[in-house]
Structure 1
Amino acid sequence: MATTRRLRVFKRWMKSNGFEWSDALEFVDTPEEGIAVRALCQMNEGEVVAKMPKEACLTINTSGACEIIENACLGGYLGLAVAIMYERSLGGDSPWAGYLQLLPQQECLPLVWTLDEVNQLLCGTELHQTVQEDKTLVYEDWQENILPLLESEPSKLNPAFFGVEQYFAAKSLISSRSFEIDDYHGFGMVPLADLFNHKTGAEDVHFTALSSHDESDNESDNDDVVDGFDEGIVDEEALAQNGAIDKTENGVVSDMECSSVTEDDTSMLEMVMIKDVSSGVEVFNTYGILGNAALLHRYGFTEQDNTYDIVNIDLELVLQWCSSLFSDRHSRSRISLWRRLGYSSDSENSEYFEISFDGEPQIELLILLYIIFLTDDVYHKLDLSVAIAGNCHESSEKTTFLNGDDIFFKKASDMSKKTLLTKEVCDALLSLSDIRESLYGSKSIEDDIEALERCSFVRDRKLYHSLVLRISERKIIQKLRNYASKSCKITNPISAGKKSKKTTKRKR
């Protein structure tokens, strides 16, 4: 396949900046799928297939805008966004011109979709509210930090490259392409490393960086390996493989063998093969073990049949269901007891319950529903015992409840779901499934599946990935219904489950 002009420019730029890569790698550029990396021949585990100089990475410290960013006390992703916008403003004069011309103006993340697209395509999904909040926060960041920067540095910054659209675009590139380099450089754009596409649970090549702390003042004898995108992960196996360069079975030898770079050189980043790859297939990196909501949010794409998908049921949705059956006082008291028993998260403002890919609910949700259906008599006994015991999970004294069962003085991980799955709890799960499903609007999952079959991956990218996300989530809700229906056959109803007339139905 002929190399495109932008790839030729990029390769020349890499060579002039000290990048090294194996002759066994082929860079493929297609209008349909963008750039991918393929193996020209058999590639073996342990091979170092690419090396990237840290100083050639685009970071706050390497950018020509470093002094401006530091004077404005901007760090992290905000400072990196300024660096990207600044280098783009220089055009061909930027040291990264050969790299920047390869990048899209922005990645197709929901962050840069219009608000109408977000509301229409993501309605009901895990991302809907999150993206709305993201857009608001990013806009506020631009107002509070970028606009003042333009006013303080009018002679150094071109306003045409620092508008709100340019800031959103830079943020999308950072979200989808940045790596953690080391303690000195922090996060940055790593040319060449960001060409490898993602595949969940199928990593072929591993990004590594010997941590140099502040480069010149490292007194530690033990180097860490940093794993990009977005999160640093210590990887001892990759550390052991640093610097190991093997010949391929077909006799293709990388020019890197003649390099003077040693395995303890902290000035270079590396891409290391972690398994064998056959000739002609694409070489994948991985951005982590992520479900489709996280993939679309951070990187702008989804994967069909992603087994790491989940659906969340917010506590607010549980309260909505509870208010249709019980009084406000009943709901508040039961949730308060659930919290005091230690089964809630630390943040009361963002509590939610995960439904796994196979439709199984988080046990903390089952515990809450179980407590909601306790009779007043059992509830008051449990409430008193909690008050006496104090911190129940640390107390050595255990009081028994519910016909001798002390289940509420156990950690959630030690509790039996079978005990909690009473008929009332199962019925509640079915009702919660219906409420969660209603958030997607009037179109059925069958409508979504038909729409996806008609959708073009290339021409309708936003619609395509939003449909994959919607369908995957709705299938999980279907599995939750099946889980609840099957569990309803368990014959261990609690006598506490019957509602008294005094506690049912909220009065308005």
Structure 2
Amino acid sequence: MSMPSHGLLEGHPPPSRELLAQWLDAHGVIRNDGLDVIDMEDGSGWTIRANRDIEMGEALCQIPKSAVLSSRSSSLPPLPVLNLQLDLSGKKPETNNHTILFLALALLHEFRLGAESKWYGYLQSLPREPVLLPVLWEEESSAGQGGRIASGWLKGTEAEKELRRKDAEGLSLGDIRQFYLATAQHLPPTTCHPAPSPESAFLYAYSLVSTRAFIIDLYHIIALCPFADLFNHSSLNPHSSLTSDDFVCHICGSLTPCSHDVISTSGVVMRLDHLGDWELRRITEDGKGIGDCVEMRAEREIAKGEEVYNCYGEGMGDARLLVEWGFVGEEFAGDGITWDVDELSLKEDTGETVDIDWSELAEKTPDAGEETERLIGSSKDRLLNLAQSGEISLELFAHLFEDTTGMHDPKTLLTEVAKMVEHLQIAWMSCQDGNSANLTDTELAVARRIVHVFDTRLGQMRRSDFPLEELFELRDSLPSDTRCQQMALTLTINERSLLQSARQKWVDLLEASKLRA
């Protein structure tokens, strides 16, 4: 099935690196001469590679804020006051999420202007097809990539949770459509597009904004940053991240003192009060804010021939990357598999909660050594999770211990959990040496509970009866034009592999406990 056209830049030449470079030069965007814009291996766009060794601290790019495309800098005329706080589903979208939608509308307007847009040299460099975000997979534009089928493979995964979060934030497909329905008639006609653009055009613009925009400052809020958006992401080995002075005037965007500023009794501009003397001199030199740009600097050495990576956020897992940016990184970063309390409770909520910081128990867990994995790891942000390393968090273990035993006294819980964590690790190390595991009845009950939690999550996934080998074969046999299905299957395979391998450790421990009989 061919992907229907959104009608933007029809008849225009394909993306040109030369035209982009001319536009960047004309708008004062400085790029390191050690960087080249090259084709990505899969042909899906461009990326950045070093053509020489780059030292730590070197500027990779500096982009004047006058060159970023935001709702403020776009040529889209101000819209009439719209009652957008309530949508047809009765939800109240967050203001920041409306900022994303308004930026998508501004981008669509610039696309409708075509070559008449101030941003044309940048716009023509952008991908001509929508980014395959899961929120758009039900659209016809994704159907040819297996979007509707792919959505089913996200069932029971962390991506399904991320999509529920988007829905709660007012950024479901229905929310996006309702926004465009309320605003489309306010887009001014252009030479290229005298009539309103189809919904597919707005969804295309939304996909670009959602995957390429950066948080900038109090004035622009979020914006597209030409050239900076060419750097691909890495959670594990990034070379840089985007920085910006965000304490500008929220009314006019000025970094230097302006007429809108509030002055303290000591004569200091309140929004600049946190700056030291050196920083004040830096932004006010020659009467202009010389730091009024966004920039990226090398945060470590970059070798010649390396692809240069940006960091969208530390520890991004594949589910977040897929839902927010439309790709699966397979770096196995992130929080692994997570649970909510209401997914785990054996009993009805009694209103009793035990708030204990279990992280201190991590230091009491015996050293597993280099060749032996831990069963239970340290808590990270007090998550109930199974880490990518195969360890369940202390928080998850303690919750299941409490739920299984019915203990609620904090002091008793802390003592008993500490003893059990230590003994289970010793038993696991003994099990790895082929010996029996001498588990108490309580430890056996908690271990069985953990296996049950893993089985429940596995059972929630689509075709949970499929062996992993068949899932790999299914994914690898898919045609190249079913990208959505390939990404969804990759995600579910990775999560299923993690759950099954972790489950097997606890099953092995239970089996080893039978050897003592």
Taking structure 2 as the reference length, the TM-score comes to: 0.69
- Which runs of no fewer than 5 residues in structure 1 stay unpaired? 225-238, 244-259, 323-330, 345-350, 387-391, 393-405, 492-508
Map 1:445-460; keep pairs closer than 5 Å: 445-454=468-477, 459-460=481-482
Q: Secondary structure at the match of 1:65?
A: coil
1:432 aligned to which of 450, 453, 470: 453
CA contact (8 A) 1:86 1:161 kept: no
CA contact (8 A) 2:71 2:103 kept: yes
1:298 aligned to which of 324, 340, 353: 324
Q: In the alignment, is residue 407 of structure 1 matched against residue 412 of structure 2? A: yes
Q: In the alignment, is residue 173 of structure 1 matched against residue 208 of structure 2? A: yes
Q: Is the alpha carbon distance of 1:415 and 1:200 closer, same or farther for their aligned partners in structure 2, counting shifts above 3 Å?
A: farther
CA contact (8 A) 1:358 1:479 kept: no
With 145-154 and 463-472 compared, the bigger mean Cα shift is at 145-154
CA contact (8 A) 2:49 2:308 kept: yes
CA RMSD of aligned residues (A): 3.7
Q: In the alignment, is residue 474 of structure 1 matched against residue 487 of structure 2? A: no
CA contact (8 A) 1:181 1:188 kept: yes
Instruction: Read off the aligned partner of 1:103 and give its amino acid letter.
Output: L
Deviation for aligned residue 1:142: 3.8
Q: Secondary structure at the match of 1:107?
A: coil
1:341 aligned to which of 354, 361, 377: 354
Q: Secondary structure at the match of 1:271?
A: strand
Instruction: Read off the aligned partner of 2:111 and give its amino acid letter.
Output: R
2:50 aligned to which of 21, 34, 39: 39
Q: In the alignment, is residue 146 of structure 1 matched against residue 170 of structure 2? A: no
Instruction: Read off the aligned partner of 1:426 and give its amino acid letter.
Output: A
For residues 172 and 198 of structure 2, the distance between their equivalents in structure 1, rounded to whole angstroms, comes to 12
Instruction: Read off the aligned partner of 1:301 and give its amino acid letter.
Output: F
CA contact (8 A) 1:207 1:270 kept: yes
Deviation for aligned residue 1:463: 2.6
Deviation for aligned residue 1:163: 4.1
Deviations 1:156-182 (A, max 9, x none): 896966543333323322221111111
Map 1:65-144; keep pairs closer than 5 Å: 65=76, 67-68=78-79, 75-104=98-127, 105-114=129-138, 116-128=148-160, 130-131=162-163, 134=166, 137-142=171-176, 144=178
Q: In the alignment, is residue 312 of structure 1 matched against residue 338 of structure 2? A: yes
Deviation for aligned residue 1:422: 1.1
Provide the residue aligned with 1:278 in structure 2.
303
CA contact (8 A) 1:178 1:190 kept: yes
Deviation for aligned residue 1:292: 0.9
Q: In the alignment, is residue 16 of structure 1 matched against residue 37 of structure 2? A: no
Deviations 1:323-361 (A, max 9, x none): xxxxxxxx11xx436x422369xxxxxx98321112222
Deviation for aligned residue 1:287: 1.3
Deviations 1:30-81 (A, max 9, x none): 5624201111111111111211111111101101125227777885212212
Q: Is the alpha carbon distance of 1:139 and 1:452 closer, same or farther for their aligned partners in structure 2, counting shifts above 3 Å?
A: closer
Provide the residue aligned with 2:444 in structure 1.
423
Q: Is the alpha carbon distance of 1:411 and 1:177 closer, same or farther for their aligned partners in structure 2, counting shifts above 3 Å?
A: farther
With 293-302 and 135-144 compared, the bigger mean Cα shift is at 135-144
For residues 107 and 262 of structure 1, the distance between their equivalents in structure 2, rounded to whole angstroms, comes to 42
Provide the residue aligned with 2:390 in structure 1.
359
Q: Is the alpha carbon distance of 1:304 and 1:5 closer, same or farther for their aligned partners in structure 2, counting shifts above 3 Å?
A: closer
Deviation for aligned residue 1:284: 1.2
Deviation for aligned residue 1:300: 1.2
CA contact (8 A) 1:360 1:483 kept: no
Provide the residue aligned with 1:499 in structure 2.
none
Provide the residue aligned with 1:201 in structure 2.
236
Instruction: Read off the aligned partner of 2:243 and give its amino acid letter.
Output: T
Q: In the alignment, is residue 464 of structure 1 matched against residue 486 of structure 2? A: yes
CA contact (8 A) 1:212 1:223 kept: no
CA contact (8 A) 1:150 1:159 kept: no
Deviation for aligned residue 1:261: 10
Q: Secondary structure at the match of 1:49?
A: strand
Instruction: Read off the aligned partner of 2:203 and give its amino acid letter.
Output: F
For residues 45 and 71 of structure 1, the distance between their equivalents in structure 2, rounded to whole angstroms, comes to 48
Q: Is the alpha carbon distance of 1:317 and 1:341 closer, same or farther for their aligned partners in structure 2, counting shifts above 3 Å?
A: closer
Instruction: Read off the aligned partner of 2:499 and give its amino acid letter.
Output: I
For residues 473 and 335 of structure 2, the distance between their equivalents in structure 1, rounded to whole angstroms, comes to 21
Instruction: Read off the aligned partner of 1:475 and give its amino acid letter.
Output: S
CA contact (8 A) 2:335 2:388 kept: yes
Q: Secondary structure at the match of 1:200?
A: coil
Percent pairwise identity: 24
For residues 121 and 108 of structure 2, the distance between their equivalents in structure 1, rounded to whole angstroms, comes to 15
Deviation for aligned residue 1:411: 12
Q: Is the alpha carbon distance of 1:22 and 1:66 closer, same or farther for their aligned partners in structure 2, counting shifts above 3 Å?
A: same
Deviations 1:244-290 (A, max 9, x none): xxxxxxxxxxxxxxxx9999613222121111112122111121221
Deviations 1:4-29 (A, max 9, x none): 85211111111121212122211112
Q: Is the alpha carbon distance of 1:71 and 1:56 closer, same or farther for their aligned partners in structure 2, counting shifts above 3 Å?
A: farther
Taking structure 1 as the reference length, the TM-score comes to: 0.70
2:75 aligned to which of 56, 60, 64: 64
Q: Is the alpha carbon distance of 1:278 and 1:137 closer, same or farther for their aligned partners in structure 2, counting shifts above 3 Å?
A: closer
Q: Secondary structure at the match of 1:95?
A: coil
Instruction: Read off the aligned partner of 1:205 and give its amino acid letter.
Output: S
2:64 aligned to which of 43, 50, 53: 53
For residues 397 and 194 of structure 2, the distance between their equivalents in structure 1, rounded to whole angstroms, comes to 54
With 38-47 and 109-118 compared, the bigger mean Cα shift is at 109-118
Q: Is the alpha carbon distance of 1:35 and 1:262 closer, same or farther for their aligned partners in structure 2, counting shifts above 3 Å?
A: farther
Q: Secondary structure at the match of 1:450?
A: helix
Q: Is the alpha carbon distance of 1:95 and 1:45 closer, same or farther for their aligned partners in structure 2, counting shifts above 3 Å?
A: same
Instruction: Read off the aligned partner of 1:482 and give its amino acid letter.
Output: Q
Deviation for aligned residue 1:143: 5.1
For residues 60 and 445 of structure 1, the distance between their equivalents in structure 2, rounded to whole angstroms, comes to 46
Q: How many aligned positions are there?
A: 409
For residues 475 and 502 of structure 2, the distance between their equivalents in structure 1, rounded to whole angstroms, comes to 23
For residues 473 and 152 of structure 1, the distance between their equivalents in structure 2, rounded to whole angstroms, comes to 44
Instruction: Read off the aligned partner of 2:181 and give its amino acid letter.
Output: L
